[in-house]
Amino acid sequence: MVKSVRDLVLEASTKTEAVSPTDAHAELEAGTAVFVDVREPVEWEQHIEGAYQIPRGLLEFVSDPECGPRLPPSLKYDLEPTRRVIIYCNSGARGALAALSLQEMGYERVANLDGGISAWREAGLPVKEHHGGL
């Protein structure tokens, strides 16, 4: 049986933690979480300040300690399996898939930002303007 993207996202959502924008903002302010934006570079015009910008297609490679030493310096991030990681995309769908992937890789404290950066903005939380490429 072929699964749809919707099926995959729903399955990932049931297996991962979702964190509300206000709770995620509190973690950001406290410095207790690393934020990872998995949107594509063309979507990064607004982002959460301090977030690592790692496109969804590179997340597993960047997060794998075995791949890390072979990555160029521009793709080295402070991602540790025991550290709190909050993933976000635009609406939460890619974030759920990414959160499940990290969880399956052994990341112990990963969550998906419920509703993505769209919900973050709707909650009136701050975003930073980004100009330029990677």
Q: How far is CA 104 from the centre of its chain?
A: 15
Q: Tell me, what's the pLDDT at 132?
A: 56
Average pLDDT, 10 consecutive residues per value, the chain (134 residues): 92 96 97 96 93 92 80 74 96 97 96 98 93 54
Assigned CATH class of 18-129: alpha beta
Domain segments of the chain as ranges: 18-129
* CB-based contact 55:38 (threshold 8 Å): yes
Q: Tell me, what's the pLDDT at 69?
A: 67
Q: Cα dihedral sign for 55, 44, 15, 6? A: negative
Q: Tell me, what's the pLDDT at 134?
A: 47
Q: Tell me, what's the pLDDT at 77?
A: 79
Model confidence pTM above 0.85: yes
